[in-house]
Copies of this chain bind each other. A is one copy, B any other.
Amino acid sequence: MAKGKRMTIQEAVQLINDGDMITFSGFTIWRRPMAIVYEMVRQRKKNLHLIEVNSGTHGEILIGAGCVKVLETCWIGHELYGKVGANAARKLKSGELIVEDYSHVHMIMRFAAGAMGVPYLPTRASLGTDILNPEYDALGKHGLRDGSNPRIPRRKFEFLTDSFYGEQGDIIHVPAARPNVCIAHVQQVGEEGTVRVYGQRYSDAEAMKAADRVIVVAEEIVPEEVIRQDPTANLIPHYLVDAIVEQPWGAHPTGCFGYYEVDGMFIRDFYNKTRTQEGFDAWAEEWILKVNSFDEYLYKIGFRRLDMLRANSSYKYSTRVKRGA
């Protein structure tokens, strides 16, 4: 049943078109679909419009590689391992990248609206901030809110008041996020596409449900009959999933609950080396372009390091990795 969903990373990335609006699973440096991201760079995707609750190392790679035209998010960085998104900052300043700032609540509500099939949701978060300053509407400034792209809303915000409970103070409407594609990395997917996520689920459900197409990379493809033995533990029904790929370690260097730790050294090295475009290009040459496949990348990382990152089966994280100073 639905065997057609299973494919290689290369095939899955061919489902992504230049100019697509894209979102991702995960949170900052956790459970990002890195194997797909590397392949997107190899296939030289262009003019992507990233829309995410928050971004992270994966976004920095796509932006550094010149795949991205627009980034709508509330945050980009690498947590402890790199305090800003240096590639995004550089390309923003050079005018190569449009950055649209929303707050965290704005973004999660945008995805919730997309998932719920409504054009907007109301919120009270972040009143009184420059996020709401009409002068700082980046997509508007760039003439992209003219309605010609059906996925870009005609306004950044709408301001209303409550007529039900007589509450004073503005209500903000944030527009639904309506990406073409969600690329997700999860722990398990069934052969038919049923998705199971272990640990914190971040904004994965909303991201996958808001998108028109869903590509799921999993640590393990498991028998559908097994994953269905506990349907309350599953997150996304198979009929919402278009493509499934099995790729162990596919979120490296980001972390994957129950499977492996964030590779902080790797991310810090990326951050330190890619603060200039020349630095990024050299890094990408070494870690993406000269490496033909994700398996080759893992071989380059090496068993010893990967095994150190491997999670303890009770704690769900590595107790052997060296953290701290």
Interface residues of A (CB under 8 A from B): 117-124, 147, 150, 153-155, 158, 162-167, 171, 173, 175-176, 178, 198-201, 232-233
Contacts and interface: CB of A to CB of B under 8 A. Distances in A.
A81 B171 CA distance: 45
A76 to B, nearest CB: 24
Given A155-B164, A158-B163, 7 more contacts: A118-B123, A118-B171, A119-B171, A120-B122, A164-B175, A201-B232, A233-B233
A281 to B, nearest CB: 38
A100 to B, nearest CB: 14
21 contacts: A118-B123, A119-B122, A119-B162, A119-B164, A119-B167, A119-B171, A120-B122, A120-B162, A121-B121, A153-B165, A154-B163, A154-B165, A155-B163, A155-B164, A158-B163, A164-B173, A164-B175, A198-B232, A200-B232, A201-B232, A232-B233
A35 B236 CA distance: 35
B120 A124 contact: no
B165 A150 contact: yes
A178 B166 CA distance: 14
Nearest to A200: B232
Contacts of A162: 119-120
Contacts of A122: 118-122
B147 A153 contact: no
A121 B174 CA distance: 12
Contacts of A158: 163-164
A119 B171 CA distance: 9
A35 to B, nearest CB: 24
B165 A119 contact: yes
Nearest to A165: B119
A166 B147 CA distance: 8
A40 B155 CA distance: 51
Contacts of A118: 121-124, 171
A215 to B, nearest CB: 23
B171 A164 contact: no
A203 to B, nearest CB: 15
A147 to B, nearest CB: 6
A154 B166 contact: yes
Contacts of A232: 198-201, 233
Nearest to A117: B124
A313 to B, nearest CB: 13
Contact of A164 (B164, B165, B176, B199): B176
A166 B119 CA distance: 9
Given A198-B232, A232-B198, A232-B199, A164 B117 contact: no
By CB atoms of chain B within 10 A, which of A164, A200, A233 has the most? A164
Contacts of A120: 122, 162, 164
A153 B119 CA distance: 23
